[in-house]
Structure 1
Amino acid sequence: MTEPNSDDGLTLRREAERVVNEIAQGLRRLDDGAVWFSGLTPTRQREVLREVAGYAMQVHTAADGRAGVARSGVKPTANPSVMICVDPPRYGFAGLPSAERLQAFRVLVSAFAVADTRRREMYCKGACGHAWHNLSAATEHP
């Protein structure tokens, strides 16, 4: 098996993981993450939405979804908002029309931030070995 290269999406997945976790931990503003996402090609945007939807699987309740929507700045009636707020949440964000992808990114990242913050406070407080929960405040942003 050959090693993955940047064209196969590995680099993008790692970058998406970093950006999303920095937003969730308050090390990067959601608006800055939205600018990063908007600069991606449509194909890459769909890949990122698939990846972030996987992180958002931590959103187990409609209440988490509603809290994420409130943080996202997206209207509660927008398709991505409705999708994350049903119980259980619906996925398929990568299949949304291009005009709704940025909203989907904002909603997914914000809902993930709500759920991941709870997880860090309840299960990882003080003795967390997860590298993505121990990002440095000195992280540089492009």
Structure 2
Amino acid sequence: MTGTSGEDDRAVRREAERVVNEMTQVHRTLDDGTSWFSGLSPAGRQEVLREVGGYAMQAHITAADGRVGVARSGVKPTANPSVMICLDPPRTGFADLPADEHVKAFRVLVAVFAVADARRRETSCKGTCGHAWHHLSTAADQP
């Protein structure tokens, strides 16, 4: 059987959570995150796309978020991931795209997630947020 073990999957998801949240809060650039993503195995890239797709859906992305995120992503608006994320409602299934579209899908997903997450931090989470991933600078200052 090919693929990664359950422990490998968990490690990839934990690292993806950290990297993606660093990117959304501008502690890491989109290009740096894309380099990290590109270094993953094909199975790892698919796992990360599923994970980030879940983050985006949990952040309740909208088609408007999709348009802003695509503009920030550096991916053409006509690319498959760009079109998928700008539909109303936005589509998922980025891990099922052909492997040569995974980097574009990652850039689009992270950029759109960053837009939606910033909006939610200013509305739903403003002043009362207990989400650890919204407080990376505080967590990074801890020994």
TM-score by length of 2: 0.89
Aligned in 2, Cα 1:81/1:5: closer, same or farther, shift over 3 Å? closer
**2:101 aligns to what?**
100
- Give the Cα separation in 2 of the matches to 1:5 and 1:56: 23
Deviation string for 1:39-82 (max 9, x for gaps)? 00001000000000001112432111001101100000000000
Unaligned runs of 5+ in 2: none
- Give the Cα separation in 2 of the matches to 1:82 and 1:24: 21
| Contact 2:63 2:85 (C-alpha < 8 Å) held by counterparts | yes
- Give the Cα separation in 1 of the matches to 2:98 and 2:6: 29
Aligned in 2, Cα 1:26/1:53: closer, same or farther, shift over 3 Å? same
Task: Specify the SS of the correspondent of 1:21.
Answer: helix
| Contact 1:27 1:137 (C-alpha < 8 Å) held by counterparts | no
| Contact 1:59 1:111 (C-alpha < 8 Å) held by counterparts | no
**1:136 aligns to what?**
137
Query: Is 2:41 the partner of 1:46?
Result: no
Whichever residue aligns with residue 44 of structure 1, its letter is G
- Give the Cα separation in 2 of the matches to 1:10 and 1:66: 31
- Give the root-mean-square deviation of aligned CA atoms: 1.6
Whichever residue aligns with residue 13 of structure 1, its letter is R
- 1:1-142 aligned at under 5 Å gives the runs 6-7=7-8, 9-57=9-57, 58-136=59-137, 139=140
Residues 117-126 or 66-75, more deviating: 117-126
TM-score by length of 1: 0.89
Which consecutive aligned stretches of 4+ in structure 1 deviate over 3 angstroms post-superposition?
none
Unaligned runs of 5+ in 1: none
1:6: Cα distance to partner? Answer: 3.2
